[in-house]
Every structure is written in structure tokens, then in C-alpha cells.
Amino acid sequence: MNYSIYKTQLDSFKSNRQGKAALRKIFGKKPVNLQDLLSIVRQRLIETEGKSEFNLGMGKILSEEMLWSECGSPVIFIENEALANNLFTAEFDFKNNFTVQPPFKSFALSFPKGTLVNGVKLTSCLVTIMTEQEFVDLYKDKCQPIWGEFATTYPNQLCVHVHYRREEFRTDSCFSPIPILTETLTKNAKKPLPNRSTDVLDALTRIALSLCVYHSATDGKKLVDGYPKSAVTLPIGKNRSAFKGLMLCAPVQNKSAGEARKIKYRIPFYRNLRAKRYYQGKYKDLKPGTRWVLVKEVDTTNSMNTMLH
């Protein structure tokens, strides 16, 4: 089993001859960081009066990569393919205003090499989850003055932005306000997914949000500091100390003494906690609606209810 870590735009430039040549042409031989790269994009946005779609997109990605760095570059390693599929197929019981509390505002996801969800191969990605106003404030801070007059429609609305590298110099992204995803989240996710980038992003987005629910339902106990025992492929020029490694562990399943058969597949089912009594004591600082509990798991072969612990 092998993992790889999300490569930033700068990591991508440094990983091949063409990218290195481009950096030398712009910066000479001096060391280059994300802020240097963002300053070039900012200047080009100013020159084009913010009309360059490429540089607008690049500015957003670099801004979120810088936020990730400021968060300590957390990388969440998904323990195994079964856990990835459980996160993808999880069902959620909520009436409206689906919301979550992410472990970090910005974090990378890493899957064991070859992990598949309904035939779609998953890859490492960068996930940012925060309100629309926080996204705008981030872009204003990193890419002034282009977003100086940018107005929000629903400033307090939670949004998720996912990026993954499809090719060496091509990053595919999906930005979604959470309410838009509500219809998808309420459906059973067990459906064929053709291997196209939009569906990769759909799977990664769903898994990222489900991870937040799982993290809440397990009271944070399944997110453990450290790297996997398996090999980890790092971006060129970086070592493990450049990241904050965390393992998202799969649940341990209870089996009764008389249970002979092996349960192969479960769909986790989560319930949202909204009453004020659930946000007291150690939970008093959490936003109402962000707590979740596991109600049951359904074994799709024999409809046996089980519980995570």
C-alpha cells in the first residue's frame, strides 16, 4: 500500500524540467515560495483588470494552498479502501441546513494507491470548508485589489472547495455551497460513476463532507496524529516534517461469538443533533447543527444492524 500527498502549484512547477525552467525565467536562482508565485498571479490580475479566468482560478487555488500551509499543511490519510467507500455511501438524517465542523479549514486527503469508489479511482486532493464570506475574505487578503469590491450573496453559507491534480499542470476544481449539495447528500450514493473528472470531484466532495460527519460522530477519536506505516510519496524537496500527518482510522466492528459469517459491506447512517441541550459543556463552542451521531450501520447483504465504536 502506498500513499501520495497533494502537490501544490509550486510543487508541480518544481517537479519537472519545464516548470523549473519557467521558475528560473521569472525568479532567477533565488528560492521561491507560494507567496512569490501568488505575487506574480496578483500582478497579472491587476494588468488584466481581473479578466483573466486562468489567473483568477490560479489566484484562488494559491490562496487556499497558502491557507493550508498556515493551518500546518494537515494531510488526512484514509486508512483503507473500505473506509473510503463507507464515507462515500454514508447516509445522513437531516431536515435542512446541512452543516459540519471540519477538523481544519483547509486540509489534504490522501488515499491508498488504487482506491476505487464504484470504479472511480480516487486521488489526493485539497479541501477547504468555510463560509462564503471567509472565502471572499481569503481572496481579498491574498489577491488584493481584485476582490476588493467582491460581494457575497449568502455570507454565512458554508461552502466546500475541492482541488485535485488531473495532470501535471492541470488542476480540476469544484466549488459548492453546501445547500446545493443537499439533494445529492440525501440520495443513496451507491450508483455507477463513470470515470470522468466531474465524478471524481463529486466523490471527493462527498467523502470530504462525510469525513467531517464521521469525525463528529466518533468524537474525534478516529483521527489520530501520525503517518501510515505504508510508504508515502512526498513532493520533491519536501520531507514529512513539512506536513501534519493524521490517520483517519476505520471503525472496529463488534462480532458476537455465534456470528460465523463475515459482513462485507455496510452503509453508515448518521443523525444530525440540533437541540440546544447537545451544545452544552464541552460542546458549547460548536455551531448548532454541526454535531452528528451514528444511528446504525446496515449490512446490505442481510440487513443486519450494527454499531461503530
pLDDT band at 142 (very low <50, low <70, confident <90, very high): confident
Q: What is the pTM of this model?
A: 0.88
* pLDDT at residue number 145: 58
73: left (phi over 0), alpha (psi -120 to 50) or beta: left
CA angle 12, 126, 132 (to 5 degrees): 125
pLDDT value of residue 299: 53
How many CA atoms within 13 Å lie on the side-chain side of 11? 20
Other Cβ atoms less than 10 A from the Cβ of 140: the count is 16
Helices (H), the chain: 9-14, 17-27, 34-47, 53-70, 81-89, 132-143, 178-185, 197-217
pLDDT at 146 over 90: no
Q: What is the pLDDT of residue 153?
A: 77
Q: What is the pLDDT of residue 5?
A: 96
What are the φ and ψ backbone dihedral angles of 190, each rounded to 5 degrees? Answer: -80, 90
Give yes or no for residue 102 having a pLDDT over 60.
yes
pLDDT digits (tens, 9 = 90+) for 150-202: 667 778 889 999 999 877 667 888 888 887 776 655 554 445 555 556 688 88
The better pLDDT of the pair 39, 198 is held by: 39
Q: Which residues make beta-bridge pairs with 186? A: none
pLDDT tens per residue, range 214-269 = 999 999 999 999 999 999 999 988 999 999 999 999 987 655 444 444 544 567 88
Query: Among 55, 58, 77, which residue's Cα sits nearest to residue 122?
Result: 77
Nearest to 13 by CA among 40, 32, 35: 32
pLDDT digits (tens, 9 = 90+) for 113-123: 999 998 889 99
pLDDT for the residue numbered 308: 43
Phi, psi dihedral angles at 5 (to 5 degrees)? -105, 140
